[in-house]
């Protein structure tokens, strides 16, 4: 099975259009000209993996409209396999307008009411295609409907059973959920299937019931997650592996926009893991020093994202990381 895994990472969840201002420094309501870019956390990870030289794919739904066409074309141009990114008439492609004020605060306007991403379902799960992946990466923002929740849980369980690396970055947006408890119950089923769970510091209490990084890492370990990670912004990341607590620092950079930094971290970490490992068991066979090296590389990639406006614009390419490329990863 492992020999047939010719895709490094398959990402599942929301694919959106982010509109970024041509002239940043204003709140959304004051921006006059916009530039469309691919967006959505799982889609960002797919692009990030491809830019580093990995083979990635996107599974989900976008509208059968011009913006859905735009997303499929742009992701394909980045090297992402979009053959399983379905276009549907059930909803329009979701939009997010993002800007930074003069003081550096992010300003958002979402247009995602019953958008196409929410119609992710079991019909999007092609077992033969998914079996080609070394890792399956899951998001949670497209799971407002029960059918989507069931499909994502089905995907996570099947990937875990097949011995694939399962990764989840919930990327919590609680304000989008009429009943956040529904998201909590979904995470309680998703997270125990995972090899890797990445949480930001402000997500810990909701996702794990623990407010501190070490408490959250312990909670995830009790769920059966062998590689839990907490990202700490400028302070780097803290993680746990095989009983060891590990810390990695972040490069000091001039921060323009932190949007997508977590996606850059996940993309680089999954790229590293899947270049080394064809599945979950091989990850478990790594030593703590190897995991720490890959996590440090991921932090450096995340720092690069913060130097540019927009999540996708900031995702680094392999050549930008030449000086910090882990010795354990081949550049072929």
Q: Give the integer Cα–Cα distance in Å for 329 and 206.
A: 35
Share of the chain above pLDDT 70, in %: 97
Mean pLDDT for 255-274 is 93
**Domain coordinates of the chain in residue numbers?**
2-14+41-62+78-84+124-318
Per-residue confidence (pLDDT) for residue 3, from 0 to 100:
45
- Residue 68 contacts residue 93 (beta carbons within 8 Å): yes
Strands 165-168 and 133-138: parallel
Strands 227-231 and 196-200: parallel
pTM for the whole structure: 0.95
pLDDT over threshold 70, residue 104? no
pLDDT over threshold 50, residue 48? yes
Query: Which tops the pLDDT comparison, 24 or 261?
Result: 261
Q: Give the integer Cα–Cα distance in Å for 41 and 119.
A: 17
Query: Which tops the pLDDT comparison, 61 or 174?
Result: 61
Per-residue confidence (pLDDT) for residue 332, from 0 to 100:
45
pLDDT over threshold 80, residue 298? yes
pLDDT per residue over 220-250, tens digit each? Answer: 999 999 999 999 999 999 999 999 999 999 8
Per-residue confidence (pLDDT) for residue 2, from 0 to 100:
46
For the chain, the residue count is 332
Q: Give the integer Cα–Cα distance in Å for 247 and 231.
A: 10
Per-residue confidence (pLDDT) for residue 268, from 0 to 100:
97
Query: Which tops the pLDDT comparison, 280 or 257?
Result: 280
> Of the given ranges (94-108, 138-152, 186-200), which has the lowest mean pLDDT?
94-108
Per-residue confidence (pLDDT) for residue 227, from 0 to 100:
98
Per-residue confidence (pLDDT) for residue 324, from 0 to 100:
84
Per-residue confidence (pLDDT) for residue 265, from 0 to 100:
97
Residue bearing tokens 């407002």: 144
Three-state SS across 131-158? CCEEEEEECCCCCCCHHHHHHHHHHHHH
pLDDT over threshold 90, residue 278? yes
Domain at 2-14+41-62+78-84+124-318: CATH architecture: 3-Layer(aba) Sandwich (3.40)
pLDDT over threshold 50, residue 1? no
Per-residue confidence (pLDDT) for residue 103, from 0 to 100:
61
Structure token pair of residue 280:
């979950």
Mean pLDDT for 294-309 is 92
Mean pLDDT for 259-273 is 95
User: Which residues is 82 bridged to in the sheet?
Assistant: none
Closest CA to 42 of 28, 22, 25, 62: 62
């Amino acid at each position: 099975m492992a020999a047939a895994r010719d895709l490094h990472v398959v990402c599942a969840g929301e694919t959106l259009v982010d509109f970024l201002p041509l002239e940043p420094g204003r709140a959304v309501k004051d921006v006059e000209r916009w530039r469309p870019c691919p967006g959505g956390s799982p889609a960002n990870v797919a692009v990030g993996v491809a830019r580093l030289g990995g083979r990635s794919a996107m599974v989900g739904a976008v509208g059968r409209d011009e913006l859905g066409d735009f997303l499929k074309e742009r992701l394909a141009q980045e090297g992402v396999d979009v053959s399983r990114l379905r276009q549907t008439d059930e909803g329009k492609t979701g939009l997010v307008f993002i800007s930074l004020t003069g003081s550096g605060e992010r300003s958002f306007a979402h247009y995602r009411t019953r958008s196409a991403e929410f119609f992710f379902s079991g019909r999007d799960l092609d077992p033969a295609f998914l079996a080609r992946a070394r890792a399956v990466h899951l998001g949670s923002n497209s799971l407002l409907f029960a059918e989507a929740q069931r499909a994502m849980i089905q995907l996570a369980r099947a990937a875990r059973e097949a011995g694939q690396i399962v990764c989840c970055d919930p990327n919590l947006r609680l304000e989008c959920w009429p009943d956040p408890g529904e998201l909590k119950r979904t995470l309680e089923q998703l997270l125990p299937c995972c090899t890797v769970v990445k949480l930001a510091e402000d997500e810990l209490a909701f996702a794990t019931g623990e407010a501190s990084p070490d408490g959250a890492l312990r909670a995830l370990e009790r769920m059966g997650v062998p590689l839990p990670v907490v990202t700490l912004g400028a302070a780097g990341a803290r993680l746990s592996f095989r009983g060891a607590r590990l810390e990695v620092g972040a490069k000091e950079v001039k921060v323009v926009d932190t949007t997508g930094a977590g996606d850059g971290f996940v993309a680089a970490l999954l790229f590293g893991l899947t270049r080394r490992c064809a599945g979950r068991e091989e990850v478990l066979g790594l030593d703590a020093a190897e995991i720490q090296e890959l996590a440090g590389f991921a932090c450096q990639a995340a720092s690069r994202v913060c130097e540019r406006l927009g999540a996708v614009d900031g995702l680094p390419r392999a050549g930008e990381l030449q000086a910090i490329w882990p010795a354990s990863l081949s550049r072929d």
